[in-house]
Amino acid sequence: MKRGLGVLAGGMMLVAAVAAQALPLQTDRVGAGARWVAHVDVDKLKTTQCGRYLLDQLGKDEPNRKLLAFQAMFNFDPRKDVSSVTLYGSDNRPENTVTLVKGTFDTQRLETLVRAGEGYEESKYGAHVVHSWIDRKHGDRRIFASIMADGTVVLAGETSLGQALDVLDGKAPKAVAATFPGLTSDRQTAIFIASADLSGMTNVNPRAAVLSQASTAYLALTESGDQIQADIGLGAKTVEAATQIESVARGLVAMATLGQDQRPELAKLAGATTIVRTGLQVAVALRYPAADLIAGFQQMAQRAPQGGAQSGPGHAQPAALQ
């Protein structure tokens, strides 16, 4: 789960897109066995102040150069042709993570590129063509993918891919929103939503001390009425754990407030944050003007060392994107 969510959060800036209507999280496209889910409504992101700011940043020299190279290779522009991205899984193992990318793709071009992959194999799962290749960059594991008729690209491990295709075909049980903590109807329409039932997952060993004390977690980000709205919720295993989580959250806010001379934008964010504990539940809420958040990003960018966009050791870019 950690890797999947990390990739999703980092990719948010790369997949801002334009489409006829937003695509909120649809739990009926998620398997019933999922214990965590994350979703980016890329279409909705494009309509917001922060989304337009991100698109503007992607138009700058270095990001734009890489996006043009990506577009030339795959014959689609992530900023325009991706509508939504959904990830889910039953635990944190990569082979059990399912990725659904909804958009408009040049299917023939994608299949041609995939067939050039190392160790490429083609098979069938029911009526679906399944492509697979070896991913040397992530443990030499085999990646399986299938392209649905509605423009959804499905990526997963071999077993997980078959299960995901069955769900999309209506042949396997689907998840319901109530399965996921904090996934209320209003949050399902957020730009980004992530939710996890940590107690119901296997093969999980959270390194963060706070997460090790939690049994559930959710994060929702959206922009409404010119304000950024962020909601974070953690369900603790015990009252003592809930108290510890609350203390950690309040400590982080206090540290940001005390550092207002060095990072005034962070101090302002801290001032707009509220923390409430109710029994085993700890809720953190942020309500902040989108324009002020963008201004804060701009201030941090101005303070950043020149050339900071260069890749450092251990972060080499693929040759096609260099």
**Which of 42, 49, 53, 44 shows the shortest CA–CA distance to 228?**
49
End-to-end CA distance of the chain: 29
Query: 284 φ, ψ to 5°?
Result: -120, 125
- How far apart are the C-alpha atoms of 300 and 274, rounded to whole Å? 24
Hey, how many other C-beta atoms are within 10 angstroms of the C-beta on 54?
22
Residue 171 has phi, psi (to 5 degrees) of -105, -5
Question: Which one, of 140, 128, 135, 94, lies nearest residue 114 by Cα?
Answer: 135
- Residue 48 is predicted with a pLDDT of 92
**Residues contacting 275, CB < 8 A, separation 6+:** 246, 249, 250, 253, 282, 283, 284, 285
**129, 154 in Cβ contact below 8 A?**
no
pLDDT at 62: 65
Burial class (CB in 10 A: 0-12, 13-18, 19+), 53: middle
User: Residue 205's pLDDT is what?
Assistant: 61
**What confidence score (pLDDT) does residue 259 get?**
86
Per-residue model confidence (pLDDT) at position 23: 67
Residue-level pLDDT at 52: 86
What is the per-residue pLDDT for 311? 41
For tokens 């398997």, what's the residue?
31
Residues 50 and 289: their CA atoms lie apart, in Å, by: 10
Q: What is the pLDDT of residue 3?
A: 42
Q: Alpha-carbon distance 208 to 206, whole Å?
A: 6
172 CB burial (10 A radius; 0-12, 13-18, 19+): middle
- H helical segments located in the chain: 2-11, 42-46, 49-58, 61-74, 78-81, 107-115, 158-168, 209-212, 239-258, 264-271, 290-303
Kindly tell me the number of DSSP H helices and DSSP E strands found in the chain.
Answer: 11, 12
pLDDT in tens, the chain (322 residues): 444 333 333 333 333 333 334 468 999 999 999 999 999 999 999 889 998 888 778 777 666 666 666 666 556 677 778 889 999 999 888 889 999 999 888 888 888 888 888 999 999 999 999 999 998 887 788 999 999 988 899 999 999 999 999 999 999 999 998 889 999 888 888 999 999 998 867 666 656 667 778 999 999 999 988 999 999 999 999 999 999 999 999 999 999 999 888 888 889 999 999 999 999 999 999 999 999 999 888 887 777 665 544 444 443 433 333 3
Nearest residue to 89 via CA among 102, 100, 103: 100
Q: Whole-prediction pTM value?
A: 0.81
Q: Identify the DSSP state of 250.
A: H
Tell me, what amino acid is at 169?
D
